[in-house]
Amino acid sequence: MAELIAISLSAKVAAALLRTGRSTAVFLASFVSIRSGIAAAACDLDLLRAFLRFADSHRGTNELVDAWVNQVRHVGFELEDVTDEYTFLSSVGFVRACADVAARFALLRRLRKARERLRALSAVKEQLGIRPTEASASSSAPAAAAICRNISEAAHFVVEGEIVGFAEHTRLLMKWLTGDANPRRIIVAVCGMGGVGKTTLATNVYKKIAANCNFDCTAWVTVSKNFTTEDLIRRIIKELHRGVRDSALGDTQEMDYRSLVEALRGHLAHKRYFLLLDDVWNADAWFQLRSALLDSETGSRVVITTRNQEVAALASDNRTIMLQPLPEHEAWSLFCSTTFREDANQECAYHLQNWALKILQKCCGLPLAIISVGNLLLLKEKTEFAWKNVHDSLVWDEKDDHGIGHVASVLNFSIDDLPYRLKRCFLYCSVYPEDFFIKRKILIREWIAQGLIVETGHGTMEEVADGYVNELVQRNLLLVKLKNEFGRAKRLHIHDLIREIAAYRSKEDGFFQLSTSARVDLKQKIRYLTLYQCQSDHQSTPNMPSLRSFYVLRSDLDVALFSRFRLLTVLNLWYVKGSKLPSAVANLRNLRYLGVRSTYIEELPKELGRLRDLQTLDAKWSSIKVLPSSITKLKNLRHLILFTRGTTDFMEPEPGTAVSLPDGLENLKCLQTLKYVQADQKVIKSLESLEQMRSLELFGVDQRILIDLPSALSKMSCLLRLGITNSDANVTLDLEPFSPAPVKLKTLNLTGKLARGKLPSWFGSLTNLIHLHLRSSELGEDSIVLLSSLPRLLHLSLINACNERSLTFVAGCFPVLRQLNLQGLPNLTSIEFQKDSLADLHLLTLGLCLELTEIPRSIENLIHLENVELFQMPSKFIEKIPYGKGHGANHRDDQRITVVKNFFWHNARLLEQKIYINLSNVQESFKTDAVTLPVGSVNSSKFHKWL
């Protein structure tokens, strides 16, 4: 973590020096001294990187090293403060710069003191004997690895009756390992975050298989992070001969790599073996071991447990089990069986249930945490007072001596494994509150605004950050709640326990901090702060820190707030009551991200153009109707997202309206995202200058605008997403003259009647198109045929877009389509899916097709169909869906089960009915009588996609 200071500061200094080189104020003598001093200090920190990296790897094991690193960290923060102050002061004009001479000299004094302190710390490390080579034996990584290894070994002695929540997973694993007649060696993966029970599940299955002699030989080994191939092979050989006193292989300690491989291959020759590799962190472990493991086509099986989804990808034919935290009822069962294991009924007494539930809630469904807390409570008196004390003192800290520190060690191990480029990005996520769904694009833009992402020669900062998100998802540190049309994460969240540990480490290291209280201890030196439900009581606080990140939720705006937090780089205002953003926000000259999404704000200040470093302006679902003309001065703006809410209800903002842009859009040459704006001929003409554009959404398009639009689009060589909405229902969009065609598009949204009721002839050349959304297009069936040949189309939505009475999907059409959405088709009476059509379809959505009363013919031909979603379909259609004996959730594995979800409005509530049908014999099932379906309410905000 300490190394991040040097890396972050180096990047920030480079940006600051590049920016201020153009300022007239740089000619002041004091400013020249500051500029050179900052650069020199950054070089000093660079020289300390090796020691800082060493200190990170020995976190918490050497008090002397920790104390030294803390002091280096504070100096680094001071240098970062000076750099940001320098950037702030250099952003003003010459006249104001002259008036700020005193502030510059004060800044110079701070810089000199910081550099002196840094040099002293560099010298004292030699006097104290702090050297990377001397403390390798005391590294915290081996200590954490030892804890993980001990927990893994303990799984061998867990009684099956104590295992909760894995019955279905156990059955599936047994089937894959013993019920599959495939003679080839098969790899099965069990994946999930640390402490979720991977080892317990896999080891339980391993013991069953070993006891039943299903295989000629079995071996169970822990791999862990710091393995060597030779040692791993030795341990496998030892496991294969467990219980054999005189091994025929001799002393493996004297064998070299080649001899070890030959010995293991010789032992496994012509045998059916079962190998469990526990806690695999890197796929290299398998690649290095593979040559020693013969595949004699005897039906051998390998199970890998891992925290990393990339490692889990080694599994054969998607034989992967993704473990999730336990649901509430299973978590309660495990809690009771652990805490009251000595009681006959293993039940929680009534007077303890309140505190038991509160304590259990802190465990967030993680089996390791539940068992650890249960063991702790087992030692306590069965009184409310004692359990309240446990609840109040429960902190997931490695230094905890109450028997739960190893939980933090296991989870911290995942964070420690992150490279520096990912670690700070992940810790930033801890500023979000519990159970908060993080939008991927917003997170990426905030990372960039905070200076956490460095642009490489292989992609933009957005693309680099997108790769970081994917890596954190692969490591199960960020969990995916919703995917976009490209299969990437759209909404993310962090497991609450991981978030708590990340927040603790962020606060401990002084990087990011979240405060949920109205008052904040501003005497503390905070680097990054996120405030929720903030009040306007900071004005009287004398010691205001340098803040970098600031959120306000459900709060009136306070002008004093902006004047005091002048070094902010990220400002997000959520659900604020004010109608106008104060002009004081323009004084936040270091601001790079300004979010007023989902607010009542109607007006942005005319001084907004002063924020020359602003990269993102997100005003989606705000009440802003007009932008100030000064916005065209924001030459570093990369993302401009605009959409005016249609109602005052935050939960139901649609339908909304696009926003008009002032003249001068062509000045924003860095713009990559422009959504959702009102188009006119000036705007279209300006678009020709925006060659970096990647995502563009235009409203109010008519035929005059379409004349100039192709020329503008042809200049956008990076354009991947395009949306065009006509100005009104009477406007016909003639896209045939488009030249050249936007063949690089991956997403295309078209709203409006198409000329001649046809797609343009060039549509077949969109070979990169993945997502297509057509609304109110009035297409004929011949256009559907044209779409069916697109080679990469994964998602197709037709909403009030087709007037045909019947749709027939012929063999070979839509070869890779995974989601088909048909809604609001007024004349549609029948659908037919011929054999070999839609060969990879997973989701079929039908909504508001009021004349469709028959189940689609030959729907059983959709061999990969997993889900059908119905929205306000006719009752005659619903009545023909089979639901009866044999179609429940407890189905056999050989059945092709499709989940049908029927959504409908009743008494102003959106209700859901869930049905399980077997597509293998669906035609016979249609003859069964319908029965009453289970009904549950659903959050209506989930279904905005239908509006």
- Residue 831 has a pLDDT of 94
| CA-closest candidate to residue 460, choices 694, 676, 721, 748 | 694
Q: What percent of the chain has a predicted confidence (pLDDT) above 90?
A: 39
* Cα distance from N-terminal residue to C-terminal residue, the chain: 46
- Residue 200 has a pLDDT of 92
Could you give the CA distance from residue 273 to residue 172 in angstroms, rounded to a whole number? 19
| CA-closest candidate to residue 549, choices 601, 492, 506 | 506
- Chain length of the chain: 947
Could you give the CA distance from residue 126 to residue 136 in angstroms, rounded to a whole number? 17
The pLDDT tens digits for 367-412 are 989 998 998 898 889 999 999 988 888 877 666 555 567 788 888 8
Do residues 593 and 571 touch, judged by C-beta distance below 8 A? yes
- Among the listed ranges 50-64, 472-486, 626-640, which one has the minimum average pLDDT value? 50-64
Could you give the CA distance from residue 36 to residue 112 in angstroms, rounded to a whole number? 11
- Residue 323 has a pLDDT of 94
3-class SS of residue 675: strand
Band of residue 430 on the pLDDT scale cut at 50, 70, 90: confident
Check residues 794 and 35 and name the one with the higher pLDDT. Answer: 794
The pLDDT tens digits for 884-938 are 443 444 444 445 678 899 988 888 787 888 888 877 665 544 443 333 334 444 4
- Residue 9 has a pLDDT of 57
* CATH value of 418-501 in 1.10.3470, 1.10.3210, 1.10.287, 1.10.10: 1.10.10
- Residue 887 has a pLDDT of 41
What is the 3-class SS of 129-146, one letter each residue?
Answer: CCCCCCCHHHCHHHHHHH
Do residues 558 and 537 touch, judged by C-beta distance below 8 A? no
Q: What percent of the chain has a predicted confidence (pLDDT) above 70?
A: 78
| CA-closest candidate to residue 572, choices 518, 635, 529 | 529
The pLDDT tens digits for 436-445 are 889 999 999 9
3-class SS of residue 279: strand
Do residues 19 and 83 touch, judged by C-beta distance below 8 A? no
The pLDDT tens digits for 559-605 are 666 666 777 888 888 777 778 888 888 988 889 999 998 888 999 99
Supply the Cα-derived Rg of the chain in whole angstroms. 31
CA distances from 737 to 726, 731, 740, 741, 744 (A): 17, 16, 9, 9, 18
Do residues 856 and 881 touch, judged by C-beta distance below 8 A? no
Q: What is 795-845 written as a DSSP string?
A: EEEEES-B--SEEEE-TTSSTT--EEEEE--TT--EEEE-TTSSTT--EEE
Looking from the CA of 440 toward its CB, the CA atoms found within 13 Å total 26
Band of residue 815 on the pLDDT scale cut at 50, 70, 90: very high
Domain map of the chain by residue range?
Answer: 1-128, 143-322, 328-407, 418-501, 804-946
Element (H, E) at 147: helix 140-154
Check residues 564 and 702 and name the one with the higher pLDDT. Answer: 702
Band of residue 118 on the pLDDT scale cut at 50, 70, 90: confident
Residues with Cβ within 8 Å of residue 27, at least 6 apart in sequence: none
Neighbour count for residue 297 (Cβ, 10 Å): 12
Q: Is 902 exposed, middle or buried (0-12, 13-18, 19+ CB in 10 A)?
A: buried
| CA-closest candidate to residue 93, choices 24, 31, 36, 157 | 24
Two structure tokens written together for 831: 């659908």
Looking from the CA of 290 toward its CB, the CA atoms found within 13 Å total 10
The pLDDT tens digits for 624-658 are 989 999 999 999 999 999 999 888 776 676 778 99
Average pLDDT over residues 669-694: 94
Average pLDDT over residues 79-107: 69
- Residue 11 has a pLDDT of 58
The pLDDT tens digits for 38-49 are 667 667 666 666
What does the buried/exposed string (b/e) look like for 478-503 if buried means 16 or more CB atoms within 10 Å of the residue's CB?
A: bbeeeeebeeebbebbbbbbbbbbbb
Is pLDDT of 366 > 50?
A: yes
pTM of the model: 0.83
CA distances from 791 to 327, 764, 768, 834, 919 (A): 41, 9, 8, 19, 27
- Residue 396 has a pLDDT of 74
Could you give the CA distance from residue 693 to residue 446 in angstroms, rounded to a whole number? 19
Two structure tokens written together for 251: 């002393």
- Signed CA dihedral, 728, 730, 731, 736: sign only: positive
Region class of 33: left (phi > 0), else alpha (psi between -120 and 50), else beta: alpha
Is pLDDT of 24 > 50?
A: no
Could you give the CA distance from residue 130 to residue 518 in angstroms, rounded to a whole number? 42
Topology (CATH) of 143-322 = Rossmann fold (3.40.50)
Could you give the CA distance from residue 658 to residue 674 in angstroms, rounded to a whole number? 11
Q: Kindly state the DSSP code that residue 237 receives in the 8-state scheme.
A: H
- Residue 23 has a pLDDT of 45
Band of residue 450 on the pLDDT scale cut at 50, 70, 90: confident
Two structure tokens written together for 734: 């003639």
Average pLDDT, the chain: 80
